């Protein structure tokens, strides 16, 4: 038997596992240290009461023979697909049909799994820095080639996002086949306007390219000119797949639920991607549990919407605390407005990992080093707003005290 030797190319540990390991090691060596974690974008607020109520009801149904349910439909029950279609698309004037929506266990899995339906020969374009899943899954699939002397994968097109271009990628100079975009962006927290996104849709249409649009942080958008869906841009249904997640929207990181939109008009080499993804999911995925689907449905009720807004504003307040506090401490900061992430420049002369160590040792605060998101992330650092409010304030006070 031969192994998939693409796995030998890749870093042995996933970025967030490395960060967690370093935190554990520090805590073991300093049991008395009161470490505050602002690293992985994991939620901390409990689920909304409307969600809990819906789950209790669904559990009771599962306890009775006449309301018990076995395998769920592969792509989601009608009740949740209809709620998504109405609230996330029709109400925004976007025409997406129910059978273009595929419920799943989250955007991370789908962003990785989507590669099953396109050829290993495609040229992949990624922002740099970038959510590591897009890069790692394409290395695993054999699309990366080898690393060059700067540590970049030879077959990938990197689109640097730095302070110089206000963290907005430029269109690639060589032809890209598949382009990963994430807005609001992870890790920089920056957003594309409609006009900026249109440039990408036009590029994809002109170049027969597919956009994989990760919209996991859509719920954090507060500014009017920031699109909530790529399908707000004319022509996007012909060239874009959109990934959505309930993780950050409704605190579902531990529940596991999201969805992917694959429009029927997305046609390449004469084939619509929609039935291909349907076939892939029916074969390799067995659907989301009934209880979780009822929980997700509750997010779209009037009470659910209200409660979720309150939870989001709790995190938005944290984002402001971090952004304002770090600026007061003398850091240059980005993001935080339409996003739960604050992206900051580390002090001159330090690498992102050196700053990680310093912050952990001197302030007992854990963040994520920018270089873990790609070569252009070197010199930057990410903090998340998903922590407890008091603890976030405390972390910022510690940073201010040390650096001011």
Backbone φ, ψ for residue 370 (5° rounding): -60, -35
In the bound complex, what is the minimum distance in angstroms from residue 321's beta carbon to ligand MLT? 18
The CA distances from residue 256 to 86, 105, 110, 288, 293, in Å, are 21, 5, 12, 8, 10
- Distance in Å, CB of 186 to ligand MLT, minimum: 5
Q: Is 137 in the site for ligand MLT (CB under 6 A)?
A: no
Residue placing its CB nearer to ligand MLT in the complex, 263 or 387 = 387
104 sits near ligand MLT (criterion: CB under 6 A): no
**How many Å apart are CA 144 and CA 142, to the nearest integer?**
6
* Closer Cβ to ligand MLT, 42 or 116, answer by number: 42
* Least distance to ligand MLT, CB of residue 132, Å: 8
Q: Give the interface segment with ligand MLT, choosing from 24-32, 37-45, 85-93, 387-395 (CB under 6 A).
A: 37-45
Q: How far is the CB of 319 from ligand MLT (least distance, A)?
A: 14
Please say whether the beta carbons of 169 and 162 come within 8 A. Answer: no
136 vs 143: CA distance, rounded Å: 10
* Phi, psi dihedral angles at 66 (to 5 degrees): -75, -15
Tell me: does residue 169 bind ligand MLT (CB under 6 A): no
- Confirm or reject binding of residue 37 to ligand MLT (CB under 6 A): no
Among 36, 40, 201, 360, which residue interacts with ligand MLT (rule: CB under 6 A)? Answer: 40
Among 108, 143, 244, 294, binds ligand MLT (CB under 6 A): 108
**CB under 6 A: which stretch of 30-38, 39-47, 166-174, 267-275 binds ligand MLT?**
39-47
Total chain residues near ligand MLT (CB under 6 A): 7
Tell me the two tokens of residue 111: 């962003």
To the nearest whole angstrom, how small is the minimum distance from the Cβ of residue 43 to ligand MLT? Answer: 9
Q: Which is nearer to ligand MLT, 77 or 252 (CB)?
A: 252
Report, in Å, the least distance between residue 58 CB and ligand MLT. 25
If binding is defined by CB under 6 A, does position 126 make contact with ligand MLT? no
C-beta of 20: minimal distance to ligand MLT in Å? Answer: 11
Closer CB to ligand MLT, 187 or 304, in the complex: 187
Query: Which are the contacts of 15, defined by CB distance < 8 A and separation ≥ 6?
Result: 132, 368, 372, 373
Identify which of residues 287 and 367 has a Cβ nearer to ligand MLT in the complex: 367
Cα separation, 286 vs 282, in Å, equals 7
Three-state SS for 245? strand
Which is closer to ligand MLT, CB of 111 or CB of 209?
111
138 and 156 Cβ atoms separated by less than 8 Å: yes
Residue of 104, 186, 274, 371 interacting with ligand MLT (CB under 6 A):
186
For residues 262 and 274, what is the distance between their CA atoms, to the nearest angstrom?
Answer: 5
41 sits near ligand MLT (criterion: CB under 6 A): yes
SS3 258: strand
What long-range pairs does 284-287 form, CB within 8 A, spacing at least 24? 284/113, 284/116, 285/74, 285/104, 285/105, 285/113, 286/71, 286/72, 286/74, 287/71, 287/72, 287/73, 287/74, 287/75, 287/76, 287/103
- Residues forming contacts to ligand MLT in the complex (CB under 6 A) are 16, 40-42, 108, 131, 186
């Amino acid at each position: 038997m031969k192994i998939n030797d693409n796995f030998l190319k890749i870093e042995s540990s996933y970025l967030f596992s490395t960060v967690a390991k370093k935190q554990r090691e520090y805590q073991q060596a300093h049991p008395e240290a009161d470490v505050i974690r602002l690293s992985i974008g994991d939620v901390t607020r409990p689920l909304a009461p409307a969600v809990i109520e819906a789950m209790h009801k669904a559990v009771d149904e599962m306890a009775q023979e006449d309301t018990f349910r076995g395998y769920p439909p592969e792509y989601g029950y009608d009740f949740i697909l209809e709620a998504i279609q109405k609230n996330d698309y029709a109400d925004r004037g976007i025409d997406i049909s129910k059978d273009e929506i595929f419920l799943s266990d989250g955007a991370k899995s789908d962003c990785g799994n989507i590669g099953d339906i396109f050829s290993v020969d495609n040229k992949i374009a990624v922002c740099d820095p970038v959510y590591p899943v897009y890069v790692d899954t394409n290395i695993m699939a054999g699309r990366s080639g080898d690393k060059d002397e700067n540590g970049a994968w030879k077959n990938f097109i990197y689109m640097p996002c730095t302070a110089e271009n206000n963290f907005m990628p430029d269109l690639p100079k060589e032809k890209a086949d598949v382009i990963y975009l994430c807005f609001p962006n992870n890790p920089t927290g920056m957003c594309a306007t409609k006009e900026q996104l249109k440039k990408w849709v036009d590029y994809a249409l002109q170049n027969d390219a597919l956009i994989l649009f990760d919209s996991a942080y859509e719920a954090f958008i507060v500014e009017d000119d920031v699109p909530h869906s790529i399908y707000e841009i004319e022509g996007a249904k012909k060239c874009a797949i959109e990934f959505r997640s309930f993780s950050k929207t409704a605190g579902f990181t531990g529940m596991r639920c999201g969805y992917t939109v694959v429009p029927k008009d997305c046609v390449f080499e004469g084939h619509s991607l929609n039935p291909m993804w349907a076939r892939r999911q029916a074969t390799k995925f067995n659907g989301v549990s009934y209880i979780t689907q009822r929980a997700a449905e509750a997010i779209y009720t009037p009470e659910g919407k209200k409660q979720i807004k309150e939870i989001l504003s709790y995190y938005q307040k944290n984002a402001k605390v971090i952004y304002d506090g770090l600026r007061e401490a003398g850091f240059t900061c980005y993001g935080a407005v339409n996003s739960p992430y604050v992206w900051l420049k580390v002090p001159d002369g330090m690498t992102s990992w050196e700053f990680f160590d310093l912050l952990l040792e001197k302030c007992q605060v854990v963040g994520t080093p920018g270089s873990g998101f790609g070569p252009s992330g070197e010199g930057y650092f990410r903090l998340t707003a998903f922590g407890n409010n008091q603890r976030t304030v405390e972390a910022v006070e510690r940073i201010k005290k040390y650096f001011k």
